[in-house]
Amino acid sequence: MTELREIIDKLESGNLPLEDSIKLFQKGTKLIGYSHKKLNEIEKKVEILVRDSEGDLKLEDFEPEE
């Protein structure tokens, strides 16, 4: 995330040659894709502990709110 923030800051500065801007944009796009992939993998692994109607603890898959 730090590296992505640095790329965004550099691109927003407007002080880069076009070729450098394109390279940074491509790198940022790859970082976003990687981060998205890892987040999806983690969401699939996360489980929460809940109590059922009888008061017993059980594991359920995590389902993020949309």
Q: How confident is the model at residue 66 (pLDDT cuts 50, 70, 90)?
A: low
Of 8 and 49, the structure prediction assigns the larger pLDDT to 8
pLDDT digits (tens, 9 = 90+) for 29-63: 999 999 999 988 887 776 676 777 777 777 777 67
Domain hosting 25: range is: 2-61
Number of domains forming the structure of the chain:
1
User: Is residue 26 assigned to a domain?
Assistant: yes
Tell me if 66 is assigned to some domain: no
**Contacts (Cβ under 8 Å, ≥6 apart) of 4:** 28, 31, 32, 35
Model pTM score: 0.63
The reply to whether 7 falls in a domain is: yes
